[in-house]
Amino acid sequence: MARHVTFITKDGGTHVFTRLERYRKVIKFGRINIRDNCVIGERVILLPGVTIGPNSVVAAGSVVARSIPPDVLAAGNPAKPVMTIHQYAEWALAATPDYDEAEFARDKKAVLMRMYMRGSVPKPFHQKDRNVTSD
């Protein structure tokens, strides 16, 4: 989990109407569940009652208003699945430049400062793509 992740477990908006007798007893709380092997990016906001499925990544700055399924990269406001983890792994591999691993082990900063990260545009996410299995 990155820095500045916000967990909101109570819907404070109910304050607007709970002074009215009809709604006096209304309370909206929700547990936030983060399953195994997840990455939550910097400044993500998690709203009440959401679950982050196992093996999922939530991109920095996302607002999670609904649960995120397993094995996806989710992003946006509201956060939605963008691609499967397998697609994300392939996308990251394609964008990784060649480098000398021994030199990288000796001086990471010097190697990273020389790297030009190749861009890659991911293909659109489709629900049927979630059944992709990794080799």
Separation of alpha carbons 56 and 74, rounded Å: 8
Q: What are the residues whose beta carbons fall under 8 Å from the beta carbon of 5, sequence distance 6 or more?
A: 40, 42, 43, 44, 45, 46
- Structure confidence at residue 67 (pLDDT): 98
- The CA distance from 59 to 43, in Å, is 9
Residue 77: per-residue pLDDT: 97
CATH for 14:
2.160.10
In a domain, residue 135? The reply is no
Which tokens hold the place of 102?
Answer: 């021994």
Whole-model pTM: value is 0.78
Q: Which residues contact 22 (CB under 8 A, 6 or more apart)?
A: none
Run means of pLDDT, 10 residues per run, the chain, 135 residues: 95 91 93 97 97 98 98 98 96 88 93 71 58 48
105 falls within a domain: yes
Please indicate, yes or no, if residue 120 is contained in any of the structural domains.
yes
Answer yes or no: 15 catalytic. Answer: yes
- Residue 122 C-beta-side C-alpha neighbours within 13 Å: 20
- Number of structural domains, the chain? 1
The one catalytic residue among 4, 15, 86, 126? 15
Residues of the domain holding 16: 6-128
